[in-house]
Amino acid sequence: MDLILRGVRHAFELLLRGDPQVMEIMWLSLRVSGLATALSLVVGVPLGVLLGLRRFPGRTLVLTVINSGMGLPPVVVGLVASILLWRTGPLGFLDLLYTPSAIVLAQFVLAAPVVAGLTAAAIQQLDPRLQVQLAGLGASRLQTLRALLHEARLPLLAAVIAGFGAVISEVGASMMVGGNILHYTRVLTTATVLETEKGNFDVAIALSVVLLAVTFCVTMVITAAQQHGTERR
Amino acid sequence: MTTLRRATPAGLWFLLLAGAAGAQTRRDLILATTTSTQDTGLLDSLVPRFEQTCRCRVKTIAVGTGRALALAARGEADVALVHAPTLEERYIAQGKFVGRRLVMTNDFVVLGPEADPARLRGAKQVDDAFRALAQGKAPFASRADSSGTHLLELDLWRQAGVEPKGPWYLEVGQGMGATLRIASQKGAYTLSDRGTYLAQRATLDLAVLFEGAPQLLNIYHVMLPNPDSFPQVNVPGGRAFADFLVSPETQEFIARFGTARFGQPLFTPAANRREEDLGRRAA
């Protein structure tokens, strides 16, 4: 109990003091996971919209694959990515293993199915009459798309939160493809594992508190965006 | 949606730039090493000193000795700092490594609960100690991760002529720090390098119950992988790091490392010594 209190106190000291090491690790975590989430939106949203609006052969299979991908174990992604990125592996020429980019890549693979699957579900649950109505009003395809996305923005932002939450909290893939290198690929989760391993529980607790605070703040911003204007209707 | 569209190129640019940056600093050095060198904090102190002189980035991958050697043997690391002499010699015999130099030593200790239910304190030889442990009066936490410590532990059971088997034998499958903690919480015995134990002693309910046998000497070597089949290996970088480790300045640093925080040094520099002499000294 004493340990937890000491850890939490230490966490606030580190945060208030703006401890350079903790700040560096925090920014790296935010940058890497933020970028991975952004990339997963770029791929996941169009894919989800396509799957939500169109009917084509094999669609159910694709949806099933994406939906199972939501439960993709980070260690499996980490292992496969490591083997692909090894110097002697097929993508070794990229020289990406043990770099922040490698973590971004692995986290993108983890977040993309979450975003795509939830987007597809969000688009599909829209009232089908909306599309008919928009067509009747003479909306172009782009205008229709914008209107549909606007209509589905609540579940879409939930997809963003879910994707970000999945990657900021994972440790398996970051450890394997990042290598937990000080000042370079050490993110909040891998640093927590290391400090626990070293027996520095107060630092580990402090890092955990920082991680929770970061997740909370980012989620708060997205939630605010999500809820913005909902009172009006 | 506009913000999203703006984020697209930015994100892709980052990946491309990061990739390009990676290609530019091709001379990054990958060091595969054991967890003990990281968990004691030694590498966090040594690596920045080396980086200043070489103006390169050292990517330290701290895994068990077994995995560190396996990675370096297939050209996935440029240099390895490891502590499993038998396994190292096997790799050398296979021609997987071209250089091997003695860096430092410390020793292994058998730890356990203060009450010492297996009566290790009375043991004269390390064989007696391990035979006493095998009676299963208390649990024994094994690393079980092909690390240098684990490989030595398996050797010690073999030499004692006992097979570690039974509900008392806990195969933890984790690093030294985690294994120490599990042993401490479960009232178990375990084998640890002295450095990691000293660095974490404050948080553990474990006492040194057997020490000092020549078999318990812990020898760290720096190894350079054979680049013949792997042109990607950074040969000059690896060699520079090996030279750095055995240089008088670094050896002096190692001799002092830990004194301020733990009251005694965690490692003994050994670059100028011969392995045979080390064995005799410890005996």
Name the residue among A35, A94, A95 with its Cβ closest to that of B14.
A35
For position B7, what pLDDT does the model report?
Answer: 42
Question: What is the nearest CA distance from B135 to chain A, expressed in angstroms?
Answer: 30
Q: How far is CA A197 from CA A6, B177, B201, in A?
A: 18, 5, 13
Q: Is B8 on the interface with A (CB under 8 A)?
A: yes
Cβ of A22: how many Cβ atoms within 10 Å? 19
How many Cβ contacts (< 8 angstroms) between chains A and B? 86
User: Which residue on chain B is closest to A42 by alpha carbon?
Assistant: B8
- What are the tens digits of pLDDT across the range A99-117? 999 999 999 999 999 999 9
A105: which chain B residues are within 8 Å (Cβ-Cβ)? 15
CA neighbor of A222 nearest in space, from A168, A163, A160, A165: A160
Residue A46 is given by DSSP the state H
Tens digits of per-residue pLDDT, B96-152? 999 999 999 999 999 999 999 999 998 999 999 999 999 999 999 999 999 999 999
- Whether the predicted pLDDT of A73 surpasses 60: yes
Tell me the pLDDT band of B21, cut-offs 50, 70 and 90: very low
Beta bridge partners of residue B221, listed in sequence order: B82, B102
pTM for the whole structure: 0.84
Listed in sequence order, the residues at least 6 apart from B254 whose beta carbon sits closer than 8 Å to its beta carbon are B42, B46, B103, B104, B265, B267, B268, B269
pLDDT band with cut points at 50, 70 and 90 for residue B156 = very high
Is-contact B103 B271, C-beta < 8 A?
A: yes
pLDDT interval class at A231 (50, 70, 90):
low
**Which of A39, A181, A194 would you mutate first to test chain B, the one with the most B CBs within 10 A?**
A181
Mean pLDDT value across residues A115-124:
96
Q: CB–CB of A198 and B1 under 8 A?
A: no
B2 pLDDT exceeds 50?
Answer: no
Quote the tokens at residue B29. 């050095």
Q: State the average pLDDT for chain B.
A: 88
End-to-end distance of chain A based on CA atoms, in angstroms?
48
Contact A212, A18 (CB under 8 A): no
Helix extents (H) in B33-165? 35-39, 42-54, 65-73, 85-93, 126-134, 148-160
Among A126-130, A145-149, B1-5, which is the least confidently predicted range?
B1-5
Residue with tokens 């006992």: B162
Give the pLDDT band (50/70/90) at residue B23. very low
Percent of chain B with pLDDT over 90: 72
Q: Which residues pair with B219 in a beta bridge?
A: B105
Q: What backbone phi and psi angles, to 5 degrees, belong to A157?
A: -70, -30
Give this complex's ipTM.
0.76
- Report the pLDDT value the prediction gives residue B283, as an integer from 0 to 100: 31
Q: Which residues of A touch B (CB under 8 A)?
A: 35, 38-39, 41-42, 45, 86-88, 92, 94-96, 98-101, 104-105, 146, 149, 179-182, 184, 194, 196-199, 201
Residue A181 C-alpha, separation from nearest chain B C-alpha, in angstroms: 6
Residue B56: other Cβ atoms inside 10 A? 17
A40 and A114 Cβ atoms separated by less than 8 Å: yes
